[in-house]
């Protein structure tokens, strides 16, 4: 079963050759875009570019996710525009995920939020990439109308040691993983699909020329 690690600027400098040599990781999901007043609003994760090329050089399959705080179409569109800048010209053999977990998103009804997330995921698909939705079990149960998002694979976080019953393509089972080459704890997930093979077959590894 493929083991997937996800990282962001919080992991600092990563030795990707050491990660690869450990044999413990089969793919990496990199954070691309988030929102922070410290970075002037919507920003590209400062480690994204370096981590992307580090994974490519080490021969690790790579995908990406972005942390949405969009509660309006206008804000979500701005996030997507920044995401597009980050993804252009790169090849991805794992999905591109919309990370839906911020408490701020609960300002919307579960149905309204799901419609917005659906729009975002469909835009990623229009770019010619493989879209996925990330959330955690309680958020899925209480704040997101999951029946509206069945067109997309789910990446579900649940740290209670038992695989969630909700249908999913990846399960993030811990945020306390220890991997050589990474200082400090890291999120780890099991993948239940061969995403590199699926994405390669479908021709969804690179953004279409617009």
Query: Which two structure tokens, joined as six digits, stand for 176?
Result: 């306390």
What span, in angstroms and rounded, lies between the C-alpha atoms of 161 and 117?
28
CATH no. for 3-202 = 3.20.20.80
The percent of residues above 70 in pLDDT, for the chain, comes to 100
pTM score of the predicted model: 0.97
The model's pLDDT over 95-147, given as tens digits with 9 standing for 90+, comes to 999 999 999 999 999 999 999 999 999 999 999 999 999 999 999 999 999 99
- Taking CB atoms within 8 Å and a gap of at least 24, the contacts of 172-175 are 172/6, 172/134
Quickly list DSSP for 24-63.
--SEEEEE-EEEEGGGTEEEE-TTHHHHHHHHHHHT--EE
The domain segmentation of the chain, as residue ranges, is 3-202
pLDDT of residue 158: 98
């Amino acid at each position: 079963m493929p083991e997937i690690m996800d990282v962001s600027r919080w992991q600092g400098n990563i030795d990707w050759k050491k990660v690869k040599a450990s044999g413990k990781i089969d793919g990496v999901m990199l954070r691309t875009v988030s929102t922070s007043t410290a970075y002037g609003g919507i920003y590209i994760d400062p480690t994204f570019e370096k981590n992307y090329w580090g994974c490519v050089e080490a021969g690790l399959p790579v995908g990406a996710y972005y942390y949405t705080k969009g509660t309006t179409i206008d804000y979500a569109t701005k996030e997507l525009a920044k995401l597009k800048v980050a993804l252009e010209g790169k090849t991805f053999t794992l999905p591109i995920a919309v990370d839906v977990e911020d408490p701020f998103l609960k300002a919307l009804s579960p149905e309204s939020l799901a419609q917005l997330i659906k729009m975002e995921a469909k835009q990623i698909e229009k770019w010619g990439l493989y879209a996925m939705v990330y959330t955690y079990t309680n958020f899925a149960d209480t704040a997101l109308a999951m029946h509206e998002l069945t067109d997309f694979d789910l990446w579900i976080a649940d740290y209670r040691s038992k695989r969630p019953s909700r249908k999913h393509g990846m399960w993030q089972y811990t945020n306390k993983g220890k991997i050589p080459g990474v200082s400090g704890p890291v999120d780890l997930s099991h993948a239940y699909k061969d995403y590199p093979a699926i994405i390669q077959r479908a021709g969804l590894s690179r953004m279409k020329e617009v």
